[in-house]
Structure 1
Amino acid sequence: MAHLADAKSLLDNRGHYAGQTFHGVNPLLLVEKIIRERIFESLYWKEQAFGLNAATLLDRAVELTYIGGQYSNQRPTPFLCLTFKLLQLQPSREIILVYLNDPDFKYLRSLAAFYIRLTWSAVDIYRTLEPLMGDYRKLRVRGMGGWRMTYVDEFIDELLTKERVCDIALPHIKTRAMLEDADELEPRESLLGSEVESEGETDAEEDRGANSGDE
């Protein structure tokens, strides 16, 4: 069956995994078995995702209109199916960064961010994803409870702080505080702080303008 071929696509002729590992495991195992099976049996996977490569996956990803894990009767979302396809393809970091830094497609950016959180090292995750905390665009989320709204920065924050996102258990990584204590990361510069400072400077300039007009 096609889904069995998918599951074995990264195994050698003895049934051993012969590809790159992430967090010490076969990347396909980052998705729980029951969810993998639901992905393989989904219509979206069979018709839209099965034969994709790193280039054609981009065409599907820019069509995404929401994020999420499973919905309705535990059906996987296209977002989850494409995440799993990325785990199969293991595209280069350069390709993932192209996905991430495309300013026009927020769901493509979210997909790349999710993949980065699943596969990259802790230091690289923080360095790459934290700058996206300044992206305040709305995202639609579909889950078992129906629809809800979130924002790109909130989704990124969940990836950095939650244990489970889009029905996937995220690999354990060191916290930012632990990485700072080990001198692996510089202290984070708050985006909010810079905004507050900028607003304060603007207010001060307006005050100075008003006072000069009174003189």
Structure 2
Amino acid sequence: MANTTVRGAIQIHGQNPQYLIETVIRNRIYDSNYWKEHCFALTAETLIDKAIEVKCIGGVYGNQKPTEFICLLQKLLQIQPEKEILVEYLQADEFKYLRALAAMYIRMTFNAVEVYDLLEPLLKDFRKLRQRSVAGYSLTYMDEFADALLREERVCDIILPRIAKRSVLEELGDIAPRRSLLLDVMEGKARSPSPAHSSRSRSRSSTRSSPRRSGQSVSSRSASEERYISRSPSRSRSVSSKEG
């Protein structure tokens, strides 16, 4: 019962959400030690700590072993949190691998308009991400990862559901044309940050990193988790009872 989708889950693209990951990879996830030891009875709130501990993105590596990243993605598909919680995950820019996990889940489960609206802002996030694959570790960036989610058919060894192209949605009037930041620069509308703004940015950056250095990461995570409390306690209870 530990691998059963939460009771009352909504079908995604006409099927069980967990089936969005191919059977071979899904079975490898179920057989992995990480899934059995760390993903049991996780909820939308407790999954945050596990996502913060993730050190890389990726699908399978070595002898086709699933990464922690893909195991947590499978867990999200199993418990199916509310959309508001996933958006909060995505906006938690202090935890880049939590953001990457949310971006992957949103790409697989949300409709096309929501995918473009939510993932295109990540094209301005240039932080480094480690990626693990069968070939080993490699370096990528958040904007490249987001671009791959919007353009590629397969990311992290997972075949992504098809979505309408952006040009089609623009013609239908479902989404506004995207405006390039370079156009603002060419028109002279971009303004360089003032010294005061730069100092505030550095201050925010040091403030974000200081809790980890001073050993206060637990309290920081606890404050963040308050944003991800599920509105459907019955759903959480059903997961615990079924998996127990």
1:143 counterpart = 2:139: no
**Structure 1 portions without partners, runs of 5+:** 12-17, 203-215
In the TM superposition, residue 201 of structure 1 has moved relative to its aligned partner by: 6.4
173, 177, 180: which is aligned to 1:183?
173
Residues 134-155 of structure 1 deviation map (CA, whole Å, 9 limit, x = unaligned): 0000000000111100000000
Do the aligned partners of 2:59 and 2:132 also contact (CA within 8 Å) in 1? yes
Q: Normalising to structure 2: TM-score of the pair? A: 0.75
Matched ranges for 1:55-66 at <5 A:
55-66=45-56
Quote the residue 2:15 is aligned against: 25
In the TM superposition, residue 200 of structure 1 has moved relative to its aligned partner by: 7.5
In the TM superposition, residue 19 of structure 1 has moved relative to its aligned partner by: 2.8
Structure 1 SS opposite 2:45: helix
Residues 25-77 of structure 1 deviation map (CA, whole Å, 9 limit, x = unaligned): 21111011111110001111111112211110011001111100000000000
RMSD after superposition:
1.7
In the TM superposition, residue 199 of structure 1 has moved relative to its aligned partner by: 9.0
| d(CA) in 1 for partners of 2:191, 2:97 | 34
In the TM superposition, residue 197 of structure 1 has moved relative to its aligned partner by: 5.1
Quote the residue 1:8 is aligned against: 4
Do the aligned partners of 2:5 and 2:18 also contact (CA within 8 Å) in 1? no
Residues 4-42 of structure 1 deviation map (CA, whole Å, 9 limit, x = unaligned): x2343447xxxxxx6301122211110111111100011
One-letter amino acid of the structure 2 residue matched with residue 186 of structure 1: A
| d(CA) in 1 for partners of 2:185, 2:137 | 31
In the TM superposition, residue 198 of structure 1 has moved relative to its aligned partner by: 5.8
Q: Normalising to structure 1: TM-score of the pair? A: 0.84
| d(CA) in 2 for partners of 1:144, 1:83 | 19
Structure 2 SS opposite 1:91: coil
Higher mean C-alpha deviation, range 129-138 or range 21-30: 21-30
In the TM superposition, residue 113 of structure 1 has moved relative to its aligned partner by: 0.3
One-letter amino acid of the structure 2 residue matched with residue 8 of structure 1: T
| d(CA) in 2 for partners of 1:176, 1:86 | 26
| d(CA) in 1 for partners of 2:17, 2:190 | 47
Higher mean C-alpha deviation, range 20-29 or range 108-117: 20-29
Residues 76-102 of structure 1 deviation map (CA, whole Å, 9 limit, x = unaligned): 000000000000111011111111001
- Choose between structure 1 and 2 for higher RCO, CA contacts under 8 A separated by at least 6 residues: 2
Structure 2 SS opposite 1:189: coil
Do the aligned partners of 1:61 and 1:108 also contact (CA within 8 Å) in 2? yes
1:123 counterpart = 2:113: yes
Matched ranges for 1:50-199 at <5 A:
50-194=40-184
1:34 counterpart = 2:24: yes
Structure 1 SS opposite 2:2: helix
Residues 114-146 of structure 1 deviation map (CA, whole Å, 9 limit, x = unaligned): 000000000000001101110000000000111
| d(CA) in 1 for partners of 2:98, 2:176 | 28
Percent identical pairs in the alignment equals 50
Q: Which runs of 4+ in 1 moved over 2 A?
A: 6-11, 191-202
> CA 1:10–1:190 in structure 2 vs 1: closer, same or farther (change >3 Å)?
same
Residues 158-215 of structure 1 deviation map (CA, whole Å, 9 limit, x = unaligned): 000000000110000100011111111110011343355569766xxxxxxxxxxxxx
Do the aligned partners of 1:134 and 1:191 also contact (CA within 8 Å) in 2? no
| d(CA) in 1 for partners of 2:149, 2:14 | 20
Q: How many residues align?
A: 192
